[in-house]
Structure 1
């Protein structure tokens, strides 16, 4: 049996060629360093809560310890002092509360990136390499460095606390932050790295290539000039639903439509043995029986001359003979119906294709006019557009997220400065849609609105 061990380390985004965290990547995500004023306010808040926790010790135990330290009472007197039991109880309460406070602060800071003071002032701590939680071990090491700086009274803590102002990367990282790999960021005006959905969308937008212009696609419209040979024309759809490509015909092999027009007899020389009927030749198997034996005989025979009675120069007595009966003319044959001329095919363009959106929930929306999509769209700033509210269980859609307009060959999408952004997925690759920039989407593309996905389909 062969055991395979996958020793490949997970790839960390945002590192430069030397493996160091890239400040430009963090800035592109929208992460901002915590202001120094709010950092000082957060530290003051945490210290103030600590003072409240040790207040029982300061009130009930510290005075008795001061008397013992100054020699006001002896150790025997300290143990037999009437306030000794009270001092022990107050010291125990402060010690227990202090331990609980310290553990809660370390766990919150290591798993959520915040202490009570940082939560109040809108500051979070992250690992500077992974931009994730800093871990409890790193937070504890940072705290011990701050405590150890007190070995040098006053100067040590002051130098450590002002060291973030000397950061050459201008990220506000002090000596204790660099030693433990921690970075303090502002979540009030910048991106919150602990918001998983927004952080995932921000990483996708930074990694995807921007698509600021419309894509040039082949035209599917029928040319208005029938004589023009298009470079591309759609073929028939196969059973798999794929649009085929038809090969253009050459000029000498262009197919004819309908029946070929008959050749008039006036424009073509008459062939021997083929009579002419109504201006067109008659085939051998279509000749009338009356003219089959005599090809030179006319189709309409002339009527025989009528024999008039001969009158003598002088009238003679006797009965007048009746006039000779006239021969009735032979019935004329009706000419064969002439074939109707073939009408050329109409050169008017076919109606343009209509498109719609099919969402991941199975809902389909045909787009025949401008449409506003979002959690609760407001059409006041987009006259002429109709508002359609979409269900959003993940809360990733903005109130007015996207404007969709029908155009020739597809749909035009415009991101309305949404919080979680929008994207165009084409051939498996997602391209970020810049806010306010029209982007072309055609059949087969997919549109991402927050965490919702819709496919562009023909209606």
Structure 2
């Protein structure tokens, strides 16, 4: 039996619907065209090195050949001239060095995308479609086109070298570049396409850009209207014991909350932490103006209220009692003896390139198999790592007020903060604050910081 095996073809990213390379994709990766000034300097360096290698030929052989060309000596005199042997040796040495130099330059250019001049000026050559090495054949044809332009002396090479300045795509590609599919990029100010790790990260960031949307959540704020009911009361209970499902009461029959006499506030009160407004009511003392928000009972006072005082109907036949005298506040326990604070709801999270979402509630330890021995209280989350680029314990992520704080745990391949298309290295052991819109790199994995 003959099995038909479908040939797997590699997909080239960054092509438009017609199969042409998209300049916007390369720009999103961080690739920048090489500036014309540095391109000219790189060309001058390459030609200068070749001129140095040709000095023996120019000094030892050219003068003797010039005499033969002008008729100062005959061909017989040329072959029997005392300097003929020296001229032959210098010409052979220069020719051999020039050929070796040309071969090395073509191989480096085709395999590494660099010549000596391009390396000195921070320029690399890539295939404009694949953004990978241009190959030796392409750069050789490019060199032949440059030499062939000398058929028209001066004007031909000058036109070919100036053609990158009127590229309609704005990539600075000349006629010889377009004929061979070569593009020269700047690695000093932009991304180095031969840095495989950073190219993988850049492609993942561009390809797997998550949707940063905000979910509509119920409001926990106290309503300004005294007759309005809160949208959501976590402490409310019904007879079935379901949290957050308290039965709303009638606005004309409000439950007793421990205030002997109360009247609606004339103006909405500003809600301050620790001083709940309690439905927009202020306490009234006979003969005095209403007190301000600072005089209202705090959350600690309302905890001692009888059952049914908050969020439920009052017990039948019950008569509201006058407020009791407030007892002096007990001394607070030292920091070491206090009970740990409950974990607050996660505000930020991470969305990985695989689509996995992790809510950051407190401290979260990320890695291939995180060990929480040195990070007490942290929650360990193991990540998939097909490329083996993650360390066992790679990154500590902590929720803070303004975003997510990341700390590299001395990982092998390091971590990075990607902001506005630029990656910044994260020093091991140094906390870095990230906000919504940033991305975090862990080895080869990328995660976007989003607000939940």
Per the normalisation by structure 1, the TM-score is 0.58
Which position in structure 2 is the counterpart of 1:135?
135
Asked if structure 2 preserves the Cα contact closer than 8 Å seen for 1:106 and 1:140, the reply is yes
Alignment of 1:177 onto 2:177: yes
Which position in structure 2 is the counterpart of 1:225?
236
- Cα 1:34/1:230, change in 2 over 3 Å: farther
Q: How many residues align?
A: 306
- Cα 1:180/1:208, change in 2 over 3 Å: same
Please state how far the C-alpha of 1:118 moved relative to its aligned partner.
Answer: 0.5
Q: 1:121, 1:79 → 2: CA distance?
A: 45
Q: 1:230, 1:130 → 2: CA distance?
A: 62
Q: Mark the runs of 5 or more structure 1 residues left unpaired by the alignment.
A: 234-247, 251-342, 403-413, 422-434, 441-445, 455-459
Please state how far the C-alpha of 1:165 moved relative to its aligned partner.
Answer: 1.1
Asked if structure 2 preserves the Cα contact closer than 8 Å seen for 1:360 and 1:452, the reply is no
Q: 1:93, 1:33 → 2: CA distance?
A: 38
Alignment of 1:451 onto 2:444: yes
Which position in structure 1 is the counterpart of 2:49?
49
Please state how far the C-alpha of 1:6 moved relative to its aligned partner.
Answer: 2.7
Please state how far the C-alpha of 1:415 moved relative to its aligned partner.
Answer: 11
- Cα 1:228/1:191, change in 2 over 3 Å: farther
Aligned-partner SS, 1:188: coil
Q: For each residue in 1:196-236, what CA deviation from the matched residue of structure 2 results, as whole angstroms up to 9, or x when unmatched? A: 111111101111123445566899x9931122889899xxx
Which position in structure 1 is the counterpart of 2:415?
397
Q: 2:151, 2:93 → 1: CA distance?
A: 27
Q: 2:138, 2:243 → 1: CA distance?
A: 63
Asked if structure 1 preserves the Cα contact closer than 8 Å seen for 2:60 and 2:90, the reply is yes
Which position in structure 2 is the counterpart of 1:324?
none
Q: 1:194, 1:155 → 2: CA distance?
A: 35
Q: 1:228, 1:163 → 2: CA distance?
A: 82
Aligned-partner SS, 1:61: helix
Q: For each residue in 1:79-138, what CA deviation from the matched residue of structure 2 results, as whole angstroms up to 9, or x when unmatched? A: 111111111111111111111101110011001111000011111100000000000000
Aligned-partner SS, 1:206: helix
Aligned-partner SS, 2:93: helix
Q: 2:217, 2:159 → 1: CA distance?
A: 63
Q: 1:196, 1:144 → 2: CA distance?
A: 30
Q: Select the residue among 414, 417, 424 that pairs with 1:419.
A: 424
Which position in structure 2 is the counterpart of 1:64?
64
The RMSD of aligned alpha carbons is: 4.3
Looking at CA atoms only, which structure, 1 or 2, has the larger radius of gyration?
A: 1
- Cα 1:352/1:222, change in 2 over 3 Å: farther
Q: 1:230, 1:39 → 2: CA distance?
A: 75
Q: 1:194, 1:229 → 2: CA distance?
A: 64
Which position in structure 2 is the counterpart of 1:4?
4
Asked if structure 1 preserves the Cα contact closer than 8 Å seen for 2:30 and 2:190, the reply is yes
Please state how far the C-alpha of 1:360 moved relative to its aligned partner.
Answer: 1.7
Which position in structure 2 is the counterpart of 1:79?
79
Q: 1:76, 1:223 → 2: CA distance?
A: 111
- Cα 1:148/1:415, change in 2 over 3 Å: closer
Per the normalisation by structure 2, the TM-score is 0.58
Q: 2:29, 2:405 → 1: CA distance?
A: 33
